Homo-oligomer: A and B are copies of this chain.
Amino acid sequence: MLTVSGIAGLPEIREGDDLAALILAHASLSDGDIVVVTSKIVSKAEGRLVPAADREAAVTAETVRVVAERGPVRIVENRLGIVAAAAGVDASNVPEGHILLLPVDPDASARRLAQRLREAAHVGVLVSDTLGRAWRLGQTDAAIGAAGVHLFERPDRDADGRPLAVTMPCVADELCAAAELVKPKAGHVPVAVVSGRPDLVGDLDLPGARTIVRSPDEDLFRTGG
The contact size tier of chain A is: 35 or more
Q: Does A20 have its Cβ within 8 Å of any Cβ on chain B?
A: no
- A158-B186, A185-B158, A187-B159 are known contacts. Are A170 and B212 too (CB-CB below 8 A)? no
Q: Chain B residue with minimal CB distance to A183?
A: B169
CB-CB under 8 A from A152, the residues of chain B are 137-138
Select the stretch in A22-30, A115-123, A215-223 that faces chain B: A215-223
Q: Which of A85, A173, A220 has the most CB atoms of chain B within a 10 A radius of its CB?
A: A220
Residue ranges of A at the interface with B (Cβ–Cβ < 8 Å): 1-6, 67-70, 73, 75, 77, 82-83, 85, 91-93, 95-96, 130, 133-142, 151-153, 155-160, 162, 164, 166-171, 173-175, 177-178, 180-182, 184-188, 196-197, 211-214, 218-223
A/B interface sample: 16 pairs, CB < 8 A: A1-B3, A1-B182, A2-B3, A3-B4, A82-B135, A93-B159, A96-B160, A134-B221, A136-B170, A141-B174, A164-B185, A164-B186, A171-B181, A181-B197, A182-B196, A221-B221
